[in-house]
Structure 1
Amino acid sequence: MDFIDCPCTGKTLSKLVRPAMLTLLAREPLHGYELRKRCEGLALFHGQPPDAAGLYRALREMEDEGLVLGAWDTPGRGPAKRRYAITLTGQACLSRWKATLTAYRDAIAQLLDMAGTARDPSAFTPEAGPFRTAPERPAIPEPHREP
């Protein structure tokens, strides 16, 4: 099976462009081009810059939602550039993203632990049959919840 277009390759991580941009803008205001270049350095983009049209569309949406503020920067020479900064609402959204991503990380850690104890697929032979009684498996641990 060819897994090139499968989500298992991690290609869907680019869907995290909004929290990535909010995180970068929480550090300092940036022009759209600078923001795109900084995103390229993040592991979730696999060394590739995010799609420019998608990034600018997300910036416009976040500006409409009050998460970021854009202003035209008109230097003495060259074209005007739009510089973006995170707002207080954007900082609150980023705090929510941190909690969400922490929960994802914990869920992924649990999944990785479970995958590490999964049965070897070669044990499922036609003779043994995949639906025969399997050896008893350890119970799935309850997820950790903050009080």
Structure 2
Amino acid sequence: MPESLTAHRTVSVAAALLTGTLATLHVYWAAGGQAGLAAALPEADDGGARFTPSPVMTLGVATGLTSMSAATLSANSLQMRWPLRLTALVFLLRAVGDGRTVGLTRRGGQSVFARNDARLYTPLCLLLAALYSVLAFGRRD
């Protein structure tokens, strides 16, 4: 197997594992699991969650993540370039943030979520954006 194809496959598997793991976590939360949920939701000024997603919404996120994960496994197909580009853009936009509560443009905050966002969630989104960009724009030999 050519070296670039091996590297491409490694990136594909890494991206699939990461997004698959995130999808599994969202299914767990949709089913009523609570572990880690409070730290994964932005906090309002009163200390409570800024919003509480419904199980259906959470399953929707899980479905999207599962689709992203599946797309990486078909990354050698030219037809998958646009879905992979869209996925890279979604993760990049999440990493940049909304200018208020999430991402690189998040304003202040010392909440558990804000610290996790700065140390884990935003860097993970940047990593996923990079991995999906490699798959979407990289050469396949």
Both proteins in one fold, TM over 0.5: no
Higher strand share: 1
Task: Determine which structure has greater relative contact order: mean sequence separation of CA pairs < 8 Å that are 6+ residues apart, divided by chain length.
Answer: 2
TM-score by length of 1: 0.28
TM-score by length of 2: 0.29
Higher helix share: 2
